[in-house]
Structure 1
Amino acid sequence: MRVPDTLRSVVDPTDPVVPRDAASIVVVRDGAAGLEAYLLRRQATMSFAAGQYVFPGGRLDPADADPDVPWAGPPASRFAEQLGTTEEHGRALVVAAVRETFEEAGVLLAGPDETSVVDDVSGPEWLAARRALEQHETSLSAFLRERGLVLRADLLGAWSRWITPAHSHQRYDTRFFVARMPAGQEVGDLPGEADRCVWVPVDTLLSSEQADAAGLMPPQHQTLRQLARHDADELLEVAHGRPVLLAEPRLVADDDGVWLETDLGEYE
Structure 2
Amino acid sequence: MMKKKPWRLSNRLSMINSGKESNFVKVFHGIPSSSGIAIGHALPLKGVGINVKRAHANEKELQEQIALFQKAVEKTKKELKKIKNTVKHEIGLEESAIFDAHILLVNDPNLVDKAIKKAIEEHVSMEYAFTETLGGLVKVFENMSDEYLKERANDLLDVGKRIMKNYLGIQMAPDLAGDHTDLIIVAHNISPSDMVELGKKRIGGLVTEVGGTTSHAAIMARSLEVPAIVGVSNLLSDVCPDDLIIVDSNNNKVIVDPDEETVKEYQTMRREYVQYIKSLEKLRNEEAVTLDGKRIKLEINME
Q: TM-score, normalised by structure 2?
A: 0.24
Greater C-alpha radius of gyration: 2
Q: TM-score, normalised by structure 1?
A: 0.27
Higher relative contact order (CA 8 A, sep 6+): 2
The structure with the greater share of residues assigned to strand is 1
The structure with the greater share of residues assigned to helix is 2
